[in-house]
Amino acid sequence: MLIDEGTIARRVAELGERITEDYRGRDLVLVAILKGSLTFTADLMRRIALPLSVDFLEACSYGSSTDSSGAVRVLKDLANPIEGRDVLIVEDVLDSGLTLNKVTEHLRAKSPASLRLVTLLDKPARRRVAITPDYRGFEIPNEFVVGYGLDHAERHRNLPFIGVLRPEAANRG
């Protein structure tokens, strides 16, 4: 176990308070990056004491591997326009930065009033693209992690904590 359930809950509450202060009086839309950020987004939005809307974008660069392929694909686009709105991208883990770079470019083309990033986990040791989150839950070491929405080959998302994937589990798929 890397981060327990209680520690996650406390940090998400802190992030929600900061985001509430920063976005007071603004037209906030959370854009959750599926599928990994679903749990984080659900908990975070309940901690933001403002009117907001939520939309979803699905992007993929891992498949069933533990290493990013580098080829980022947008699998599901937003359902609603974001032009002129304050957009906060909600991501589970900022790793190489390749996925977030593609997502950011994609969303900027839709002319939001502002575009910022909140990530639950930040792995700066793996960064290949210069991206810095505006809000960060935890900085973690260069380990493949699962739980609290994060998966390996679509498994382990339902764990209430964040743990390091053991090599024997990665090999089983």
In a domain, 158, yes or no: no
In a domain, 166, yes or no: no
Would you state the pLDDT for residue 62?
53
In whole angstroms, give the CA distance from residue 151 to residue 66: 10
Structural contact between residues 22 and 46, judged by C-beta atoms closer than 8 angstroms: no
Q: The domain that contains 54 carries what CATH number?
A: 3.40.50.2020
In a domain, 111, yes or no: yes
- Is-catalytic flag, 95? yes
Structural contact between residues 169 and 66, judged by C-beta atoms closer than 8 angstroms: no
Query: Which of 57, 30, 44, 52 minimizes the C-alpha distance to 115?
Result: 30
In a domain, 47, yes or no: yes
Q: Which residues contact 1 (CB under 8 A, 6 or more apart)?
A: 161, 162, 163
Q: Which domain holds residue 39?
A: 5-143
Residues 95, 122, 134, 151: which is the catalytic one?
Answer: 95
Determine how β-strand 52-60 pairs with β-strand 73-76. Answer: antiparallel
Would you state the pLDDT for residue 169?
65
Q: What total number of domains does the chain contain?
A: 1
- Total-model pTM: 0.91
Show the low-confidence residues of the chain (pLDDT under 70): 61-70, 168-173
pLDDT digits (tens, 9 = 90+) for 24-52: 999 999 999 999 999 999 999 999 999 99
In whole angstroms, give the CA distance from residue 113 to residue 18: 19
Would you state the pLDDT for residue 173?
52
In whole angstroms, give the CA distance from residue 10 to residue 145: 19
In a domain, 160, yes or no: no
Would you state the pLDDT for residue 72?
79
In a domain, 152, yes or no: no
Would you state the pLDDT for residue 71?
75
Would you state the pLDDT for residue 136?
98
